[in-house]
């Protein structure tokens, strides 16, 4: 059962997926920036999900209400170095540390950049293809920036401050990366079918990443 929340999201794009399988509520997110605050965000997300899944009136009765077991994961593919696996805990955010917190939420962050978590990426064709694609995009962004800088004699700082220029360069890098992935049979059908959407989302994502 898909339980991904609807409504407005950051940058008007979804970077989360929630579903119930075998009585487990699995909540996955994608991040390109390490964030120790993810447990609190997931606590909000969990509460909203359970509110949709459980009828409020049943909570006041004598019968135990059973809920799916929550599990939280983050797929990380940013440029800041990170171990293959990092654990974030809600209790790490508490100002006052206690030995046995009354509330705890644990999130497992998995680095899916090329060279990390090889067993996972080899087992999942989509994750591996996505990681390869992101690596290509970052490579070509640097190359098209350097080429533009060389041909227009404009400083990198001024170029970075011009949003229209940057969006054009990022879109170019994404298009080159998509073409390469199709040629190399990396998620070929996906890139062929959703080329326009991937470019639009990619420009938003990489523009935001640079802004941050």
Per-residue pLDDT tens digits for 77-116: 999 999 999 999 999 999 999 999 999 999 999 999 999 9
- Do both 202 and 137 map to the same domain? yes
Per-residue pLDDT tens digits for 129-156: 999 999 999 999 999 988 888 787 666 5
- Residue 121 is assigned to a structural domain of this protein: no
96-122 exposure pattern, b = at least 16 Cβ within 10 A, e = fewer = eeeeeeeeebebebbbbbeebbeebbe
- Do both 141 and 62 map to the same domain? no
Residue finishing a domain among 111, 134, 152: 111
In angstroms, the CA 149 to CA 85 distance is 38
- Do both 94 and 132 map to the same domain? no
Domain that holds residue 172: 126-211
Q: Pairing between strand 106-111 and 85-89?
A: antiparallel
- Residue 46 is assigned to a structural domain of this protein: yes
- Residue 116 is assigned to a structural domain of this protein: no
- Do both 37 and 130 map to the same domain? no
pLDDT at residue 10 is higher than 60? no
- Residue 5 is assigned to a structural domain of this protein: no
- Do both 107 and 141 map to the same domain? no
Burial of 166 (0-12, 13-18, 19+ CB in 10 A): buried
Residue finishing a domain among 111, 135, 153: 111
**Confidence class of residue 13 from pLDDT cuts 50, 70 and 90?**
very low
Q: Tally Cβ neighbours within 10 Å of residue 174.
A: 24
Q: Tally Cβ neighbours within 10 Å of residue 135.
A: 15
- Residue 59 is assigned to a structural domain of this protein: yes
- Do both 105 and 149 map to the same domain? no
**Confidence class of residue 167 from pLDDT cuts 50, 70 and 90?**
confident
Residue carrying the six token digits 């080159």:
176
- Do both 157 and 190 map to the same domain? yes
- Do both 20 and 55 map to the same domain? yes
In angstroms, the CA 142 to CA 15 distance is 25
- Do both 160 and 195 map to the same domain? yes
- Do both 135 and 61 map to the same domain? no
Name the strands in the sheet holding 24-31, side by side, starting at the edge strand that comes first in the sequence.
16-21, 24-31, 69-76, 106-111, 85-89
Average pLDDT over residues 47-63: 90
Question: Cβ neighbours of residue 16 under 8 Å, at least 6 residues apart?
Answer: 4, 5, 9, 27, 28, 29, 30, 45
In angstroms, the CA 177 to CA 67 distance is 43
Residue finishing a domain among 80, 111, 142: 111
- Do both 91 and 156 map to the same domain? no
In angstroms, the CA 18 to CA 4 distance is 4
- Residue 2 is assigned to a structural domain of this protein: no
In angstroms, the CA 145 to CA 127 distance is 27
How many domains in the chain? 2
């Amino acid at each position: 059962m898909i339980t991904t929340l609807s409504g407005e999201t950051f940058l008007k794009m979804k970077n989360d997926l929630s579903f119930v399988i075998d009585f487990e509520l699995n909540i996955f997110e994608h991040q390109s920036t390490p964030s120790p605050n993810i447990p609190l965000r997931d606590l909000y997300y969990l509460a909203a999900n359970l509110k949709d899944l459980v009828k409020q009136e049943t909570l006041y009765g004598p019968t135990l209400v059973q809920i799916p077991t929550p599990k939280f994961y983050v797929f990380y593919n940013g440029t800041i170095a990170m171990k293959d696996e990092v654990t974030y805990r809600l209790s790490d955010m508490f100002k006052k540390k206690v030995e046995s917190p009354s509330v705890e939420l644990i999130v497992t962050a998995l680095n899916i950049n090329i060279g990390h978590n090889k067993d996972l990426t080899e087992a999942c064709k989509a994750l591996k293809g996505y990681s390869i694609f992101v690596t290509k995009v970052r490579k070509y962004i640097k190359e098209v920036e350097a080429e533009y800088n060389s041909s227009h004699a404009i400083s990198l700082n001024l170029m970075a401050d011009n949003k229209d220029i940057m969006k054009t360069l990022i879109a170019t890098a994404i298009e080159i990366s998509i073409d390469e992935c199709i040629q190399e049979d990396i998620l070929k059908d996906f890139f062929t079918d959703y080329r326009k959407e991937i470019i639009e989302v990619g420009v938003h994502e990489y523009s935001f990443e640079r802004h941050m």
